[in-house]
Each structure stands twice: as structure tokens, then as C-alpha cells.
Structure 1
Amino acid sequence: MRKAIIALSALSMAIPVSMAIPTDGVSAREHYRYREWRGRDGRTYCRKSDGTTGLIIGGVGGALVGRAIDTRGDRATGTILGAAGGALLGKSIDSKRRCR
């Protein structure tokens, strides 16, 4: 009788843990498959671009334009300011505000 009680109590401890673990990776990531999904807290989330590509391309383009405009001296100031301005402009263009 003692072994049966120990076995039942061990089983009752293992069942809630096994229910919380997803069966495979697909079911764990299932709600991220679409562009928009509703989270556990009831909010709607969406997958959107963070603007990294625009930041890099804008920075390179801005550096080239800044270097071409600043023709006096060592041209480092124009290159740095152009890269910063181009990066900010590229990020603002590439990052999407809405999901649609």
C-alpha cells in the first residue's frame, strides 16, 4: 500500500509539469507564424521591420554624399555628419510604424 501511495503522489507531481512543456518546437512558435497575433495578455502584436537595413544603407549613402559636399580640408567632418544624417533618415524610412 505504501508503494502505491508513493507512486500515485509521484505521478500527481509529474502530470502538471508534462502539461506545461510544449510537445515540439512548432507548437511553441505557432503564434509567431503570422504577421499579427494576439498575446496571452490580450494585446495584439505584429512583426515589423526595425529599420536596420535602412540604417546601414543610409549611413553609407550619407557618408558618400557628405564627403562629396565637403570639399575643403580633410573632409572628415562632412563624412561623419553625412553618415549620421543618412543613417537617421534611412532608419526612419525603413522602419514601419504599422503592420499593414
Structure 2
Amino acid sequence: MVSRLGRFYAAVLAETETEDFMLFGPAYKGIALAAATTAALYQDQDRNVGFAYNRKESKDHGGGGAVVGAKLSGRVVIIDDVLTAGTAVRGSGS
């Protein structure tokens, strides 16, 4: 099911996003959706895009921080299971 959604999102993004962009999946459900979309963009559309996600709690060991993956820069497309007021998204990039 998640891979099918990823392929659908990838097809839509391939049609609508002509400039470079990266994907961001807010914890927790957005992570799987953004990862599946990133994979489908690469496999089906031959597009290599950056991908990042956030942790609910920052890590203070190893690499540390709240954001994992590619550095957030340029156009960022946020993929999540539900977007309403954007409250979860506003706090996820810190």
C-alpha cells in the first residue's frame, strides 16, 4: 500500500515539479510516505531527489539533531498523511 502511494505521489511530482526539489517526511507517518516517494521517483522517473525526516525528540549523541537525511535546502516538498493547520510541520524542521 505505501509503495503504491509512493508511486502515485512520484508520478504527480514528476508532472508538476520541473525545478529541483527535495522531500521531507514529518515523523512518524510522513517518513514512510516520503521514503516510498523518493524510491519511486528514482526507480520510475529517473529522478534523484534528497530526502529528510525529523525525530520527535532530538538526539544528543552520534550525529545528534532533530533532522535526519539530506540538508534542508531549496524547494522542499512535505509529504505527510494529514495536513490541516500545519502545526506538526512548523515544529518539525528545527
Q: Which has the higher contact order (CA 8 A, sep 6+)?
A: 2
TM-score (norm. length: structure 2): 0.27
Larger Rg: 1
TM-score (norm 1): 0.26
Q: Which has the higher helix share?
A: 1
